């Protein structure tokens, strides 16, 4: 296969995955807008976010860690023997089903103690509500992690449509649950919708398990299974360490004024949604290709995939930092400020959102730059890195939240996410003997210049025309920023990676969605 053919193969599925990713997170974002209208920064909303903390923490550990080592193992085994790959997949599925079921039962037994650990300063009423919500959400741990493993089975065969649709269905069911049940059961509709979405998404993916061998033979002495577990264990440990920042963040926030958990929750969700939308498609497509290049010792292609991914993600995310600096408050007011969500809530969310926009860039980059740990199976270094980052966050989160309250917590999150990306970038540069660093730096400078110029232009338009109406002038300012930014990066700076994407977008109007 030629380089040009490979690039075409990357671009088409990237558009597909990005489209469904955008649709999925659009539904999730719409759910948050509706929730904001119903609950604002209320104690009920705080209780739900507290209840969600541990289930999300456990799922994040495995969903982040497992596919990153599971997918390369599947691809490698499939090249060796299709039968062996499906047996390996079945064994991994059974191991994690059994283990996660046990974890969920233990977490259910000690539910009150766990919620107290997450938020020690909440009232007895909020604690009781949080425990009830937590027990409804808890089974989703098993469903969501197993869905991640099933999705990897599709990705290993370069089939991206079904797992992409599954995430959309998950979010759609959750949204329907909130709309249908909110008036009858209130905040509990969020928990029921979350569980129902997880269940339906899992059922949508489970047909791939028909390829599992029917025999019940199982042995931990299987070389491939043993190698996978040895590789995955340090990564899971790293996830336990790194993802615990969410627990620490929520614990610190529970000690701040009422509504701080919700304000940080809204801004973190916006940050996470945007990071996944803007980098998820690129990372999903490039990771199997990078893994394959590593397996074939094709470092030239690996470097090209890596630098392209970094540049595309920077081009997509850096303008948002400028946007949230100039127009973050109008954006939050237009999107959220209605019903129970008031002006004070808008100011609180907008302030933390601007600070977290730096974390948005780093989270997005992390979807590419951290992959070197996974496809090289040097996951012990990832565990060491995330342990160091955790200690930094423990210190900065405590210090900054005491000094600057909610903004301090957001700043600590951005700084530590940046440190994680820097460490991962250094490792990747060492691993592959250079990652076109000079080129990335030059393009980054160009992107920053374009983002500032386009951001200042859009802010000027908003300032002059804000008497027309917030929604209309904000949309106009956003469109203008996109146009000005596009003209600068494509026609003035002529960034090759973006020119290539432009050519493929123009030439891909007839893309088939068939797998």
Give the closest residue to 140 by CA, choosing from 192, 75, 175, 217: 192
CB-based contact 426:296 (threshold 8 Å): no
Residue 128 lies in a domain: yes
199 is in which domain, residue-wise? 3-507
Residue 181 lies in a domain: yes
Residue 357 lies in a domain: yes
Q: What's the pTM value of the predicted model, to 2 decimals?
A: 0.77
pLDDT at 128: 93
CA 223 to chain centre: 32
pLDDT at 447: 96
pLDDT at 4: 41
Residue 512 lies in a domain: no
Residue 328 lies in a domain: yes
**DSSP states along 461-472:** HHHHHTTS-HHH
pLDDT at 504: 64
- Distance, CA of 346 to CA of 224 (rounded, Å): 52
- Distance, CA of 344 to CA of 326 (rounded, Å): 18
Total domain count for the chain?
Answer: 1
Residuewise pLDDT in 10s, the chain (515 residues):
443 444 445 556 666 777 787 788 788 888 888 988 888 888 898 899 999 999 999 998 888 778 778 887 887 787 777 788 888 888 889 899 999 999 999 999 999 999 999 988 888 898 999 999 999 999 999 999 999 999 988 887 777 788 889 999 999 999 999 999 999 999 999 999 999 999 999 999 999 888 888 776 666 667 778 888 888 888 788 788 878 888 898 889 888 887 888 889 889 988 988 888 788 778 877 887 888 888 888 899 899 889 999 999 999 999 999 999 999 999 999 988 888 898 998 999 999 999 999 999 999 999 888 888 878 878 778 778 888 999 999 999 999 999 999 999 999 999 999 999 999 999 999 888 888 889 999 999 999 999 999 999 999 999 998 777 778 899 999 999 999 999 999 999 999 888 877 776 666 544 443 44
Residue 514 lies in a domain: no
Residue 162 lies in a domain: yes
CA 344 to chain centre: 28
Residue 44 lies in a domain: yes
- Distance, CA of 265 to CA of 494 (rounded, Å): 38
């Amino acid at each position: 296969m030629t380089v040009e053919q490979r690039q075409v193969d990357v671009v088409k599925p990237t558009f597909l995955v990005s489209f469904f990713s955008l649709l999925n997170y659009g539904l999730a974002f719409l759910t948050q807008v509706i929730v904001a209208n119903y609950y604002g920064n209320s104690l009920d909303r705080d209780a739900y976010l507290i209840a969600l903390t541990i289930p999300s923490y456990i799922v994040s550990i495995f969903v982040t860690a497992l596919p990153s080592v599971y997918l390369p193992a599947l691809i490698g085994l499939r090249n060796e023997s299709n039968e062996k790959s499906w047996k390996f997949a079945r064994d991994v599925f059974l191991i994690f089903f059994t283990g996660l079921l046990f974890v969920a039962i233990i977490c259910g037994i000690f539910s009150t103690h766990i919620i107290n650990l997450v938020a020690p300063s909440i009232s007895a009423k909020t604690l009781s509500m949080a425990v009830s919500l937590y027990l409804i959400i808890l089974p989703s741990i098993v469903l969501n992690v197993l869905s991640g493993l099933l999705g990897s089975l599709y990705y290993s065969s370069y089939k991206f449509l079904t797992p992409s649709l599954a995430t959309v269905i998950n979010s759609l069911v959750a949204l329907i649950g909130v709309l249908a049940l909110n008036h009858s059961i209130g905040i509990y509709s969020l928990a029921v919708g979350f569980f129902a979405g997880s269940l339906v998404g899992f059922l949508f993916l489970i047909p791939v398990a028909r390829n599992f061998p029917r025999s019940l033979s199982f042995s931990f002495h299987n070389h491939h299974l043993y190698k996978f577990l040895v590789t995955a264990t340090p990564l899971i440990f790293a996830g336990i360490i790194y993802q615990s920042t969410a627990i620490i963040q929520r614990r610190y926030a529970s000690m701040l004024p009422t509504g701080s958990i919700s304000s940080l929750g809204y801004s973190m969700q916006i940050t996470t949604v945007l990071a996944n939308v803007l980098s998820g498609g690129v990372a999903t497509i490039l990771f199997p290709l990078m893994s394959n290049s590593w397996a074939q010792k094709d470092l030239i292609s690996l470097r090209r995939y890596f630098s392209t991914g970094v540049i595309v993600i920077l081009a997509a995310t850096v303008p948002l930092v400028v946007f949230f600096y100039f127009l973050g408050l109008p954006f939050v007011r237009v999107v959220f400020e209605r019903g129970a969500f008031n002006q004070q809530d808008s100011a609180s969310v907008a302030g933390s959102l601007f600070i977290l926009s730096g974390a948005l860039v780093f989270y997005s980059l992390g979807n590419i730059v951290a992959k070197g740990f996974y496809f090289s199976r040097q996951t012990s270094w990832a565990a060491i890195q995330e342990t160091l980052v955790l200690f930094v966050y423990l210190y900065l989160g405590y210090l900054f939240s005491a000094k600057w309250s909610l903004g301090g917590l957001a700043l600590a999150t951005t700084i530590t996410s940046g440190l994680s990306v820097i460490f991962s970038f250094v490792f990747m540069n060492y691993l592959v003997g250079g990652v076109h660093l000079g080129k990335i730096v030059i393009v980054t400078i160009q992107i920053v210049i374009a983002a500032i110029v386009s951001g200042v232009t859009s802010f000027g338009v908003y300032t002059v025309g804000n008497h027309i109406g917030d929604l209309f002038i904000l949309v106009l300012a956003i469109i203008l920023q996109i146009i000005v930014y596009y003209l600068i990066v494509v026609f003035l700076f002529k960034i090759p990676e973006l020119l290539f994407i432009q050519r493929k977008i123009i030439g891909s109007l007839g893309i088939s969605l068939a797998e």
